[in-house]
Amino acid sequence: MEQYGFNNVTTDYIAINLTPDNPIYSRQMAYDMINANRKTALDWAELLLDIAPDIVTVNEVNELKRIINKKFDKRIELYDKGIKQWDTTVALTMVLRGTK
């Protein structure tokens, strides 16, 4: 920021608690959190074919993706039954401030 003419540059951080079982979140938001984690896991599984093409086969990646989907389907089932897992993700955002 200083390179762009800002002075008195400071930083702060905002932590966002993303826990599906936290009652402050709606059912839809809880589903969205769980499915965002599912998507991340599936993307990583798919990336294995690019990272280690000589080690991992398409069939192995497909099996891993099946296991991942089963895990997250079970997580949603537990949520729907009211069986809390208290799994969480913390999103940390850096806030920069400065004056011109």
Domain ranges of the chain: 2-99
φ, ψ at 32 (rounded to 5°): -60, -40
- Give the pLDDT band (50/70/90) at residue 5: very high
17 token code pair = 């608690």
State mean pLDDT over 74-81: 98
φ, ψ at 47 (rounded to 5°): -65, -20
At 34 the pLDDT is 98
- Alpha-helical regions (H) of 11-88: 27-51, 58-80
36 token code pair = 């965002």
18 token code pair = 């993303």
At 13 the pLDDT is 97
At 23 the pLDDT is 96
22-77 confidence digits (pLDDT tens): 999 999 999 999 999 999 999 999 999 999 999 999 999 999 999 999 999 999 99
